[in-house]
Amino acid sequence: EIPRKNYVFGKFMRSLYPNCILRFFRRGNVSFSKHVHCTPDEIKGKEIKIDPKREELAMIHYNYDTVASFMSRTNTYTSLEIEKMVKRGFKFSLKFLIFRPLGEFIKRYFLKSGYKDGLHGFIVAYLLAMYETIAIIKLWEYEKNQKLVKKENPVPEKIEETVF
């Protein structure tokens, strides 16, 4: 695993460090699912981890240059999140809509010290809470569409066809 230094809107976000990921591996020793940004399903062989304290060895990762790029990816990734939410048995509720984004903000801004990144830290925590909000609203939309589909057509549709 390699630690990543994440840059958001041109600033290194200490609150997002070390964000360790598996990056180098021998062909055939790692298998991934089809999901975006997933962790490996299976790892054969020895794992080597770079100590996050060795910041000079960290990989530089430019997450988002602009709010527009964040919003564009948010739309894409939140649509993909629905399939995962449905498989895990998540159901829309007002409680879920209120508390999951709030929890995300508290985690990012307070628990992971986003406040130390200044205004950037606040904005990133807020945007990540908004990401959760959008994903949950898309889950609500998916469930609403599924109810309509069942009324009009008893054959269930694929998730991809009912979301946007």
Q: Could you read off the pLDDT of 82-104 as tens digits, one per residue?
A: 999 999 999 999 999 999 999 99
Contact indicator for 19, 6 with CB cutoff of 8 Å: yes
Model pTM? 0.81
- For the stretch 32-53, pLDDT in tens is 666 666 566 677 777 788 999 9
Q: List, in order, residues 6 or more apart from 25 with CB less than 8 Å away.
A: 43, 45
